[in-house]
A = this chain, B = another copy of it.
Amino acid sequence: MVHKRKSNSLSTVSANPVGGDASSPTTRRAKAAGRSITVKDIAAEVGVSITTVSNVLLGKEGTYSPETGEKVKECARRLGYRRNNLARSLVRQRSQTLGVLLEERFNFSHPENQYFVGVLQGFLQEAARRRYQVKIVMQANPPSDEIISAVDDASIDGLAAVVLSPDNALFGWFDHARLPVVLVGCETRSPKASSVDVDDYESLGELIEQAWSLGHRRFALVTGENEHGALSERERAFSAHVGGRRLDGGAPLVLRCDMEGHKADEILRELAKLSAAKRPTILVCANDLIAVSIVRQASAHGLRVPEDFSVTGFDGFAVGDWCTPRLATVRQPLSRIGAKAAEILIESLENPGAAPIQHAVLPGRLLLRESLAAPSGASA
């Protein structure tokens, strides 16, 4: 790899922020012993007690004289003191750290995982804002008992569990955990754990109302396998919102695809067989992947979107941006979900008075794009 041209020196070298005064006997001794500078070192160097050092470092105004304060701060700076937060957490009985539990199927290259990732981002940001650190715990599949040790080891003060599987083995534990837990994006509700989720039901209602007002009267639902509980709420919402309306041709079609849209081809084949008068004017898909697969493969079956039928997704992932026509869908407020999860944890940690359990339901946002249009010949 000789040809790899990399600059061999650092482009930025700021003043050495640690290590401090290398010539101080204290520093030298500490370094030689391979240990860090501690409050004890500072106390010795300045000639005060460690109590005073601690008080100064914690900024407990009034408990020390200005001169002492100056001397201690200067010394800390000079010696390159860094607080050991392990020790601090141990005595304070809180680590100022939040945990995020992820299932291992967190395979990022997959669009679905924008969910994890968007949530994580919001969580990280809110945690940072409130001065909490964040630890990530991956739950292996199948889950081992170790996972509880990883989560219940005093290293985190609260846990956001981003568990999409309704049958996650940890649900029993969540319920008895002695740290606050917030369940993110799963259907399950527990009286002992908080939750943050999106109002799929409401959003799907808005989507269908929008389609209706455009003139759609023949709806079909394209959903995934039944086994996977994740889409069942969307299916229920579809039935409920479409059910009450006077449709053309009776009950809406329900087409079974798979979560990833691999079977879109089969579904399109069936649809192509239908006469235009029988064919649904809109395919409401239970997630973006299904919808995008339909959109992409429609032309191969001689079907045009949205001329022959409209297609809508659900999730608002980036794939919908990258297909033609762009996908109309419902965007989940991912980073807000994450931020809300962090907020709930921090609130329950810092306001012992507040309600310890909160169930937040966030609204999705309709993204009206080209894959949704009035049906051909509609008299909306």
**A-to-B contact residues, CB < 8 Å:** 1, 3-19, 36, 82-87, 89-90, 95, 97, 102, 104, 106-109, 111, 113-114, 117-118, 120-121, 124-125, 128, 133-138, 140, 145, 148-150, 152-155, 166-169, 171-173, 175-178, 187-190, 197, 199, 201-202, 233, 236, 240, 292, 296, 318-319, 322-324, 334-335, 361
Residues on B with beta carbons closer than 8 Å to the beta carbon of A5: 201, 233, 236
Contact indicator B134/A136 (Cβ below 8 Å) = yes
Contact indicator B124/A138 (Cβ below 8 Å) = yes
Residues on B with beta carbons closer than 8 Å to the beta carbon of A292: 322
Given contacts A82-B149, A135-B133, contact A16 B172 (CB under 8 A): yes
Residues on B with beta carbons closer than 8 Å to the beta carbon of A14: 169, 171-173
A-B contact pairs, 6 of them (CB 8 A): A3-B202, A10-B188, A12-B168, A14-B173, A104-B125, A109-B114
Contact indicator A134/B133 (Cβ below 8 Å) = no
Residues on B with beta carbons closer than 8 Å to the beta carbon of A171: 10-14
Q: Which of B36, B136, B153 contacts A83 (CB 8 A)?
A: B153
- Which residue from chain B places its CB closest to the CB of A136 in the assembled complex? B134
Given contacts A12-B168, A114-B108, contact A154 B3 (CB under 8 A): no
Q: Which of B135, B190, B334, B335 contacts A10 (CB 8 A)?
A: B190
Contact indicator A86/B95 (Cβ below 8 Å) = yes
> What distance in Å separates the Cβ of A340 from its nearest Cβ neighbour in chain B?
14
Contact indicator A155/B172 (Cβ below 8 Å) = no
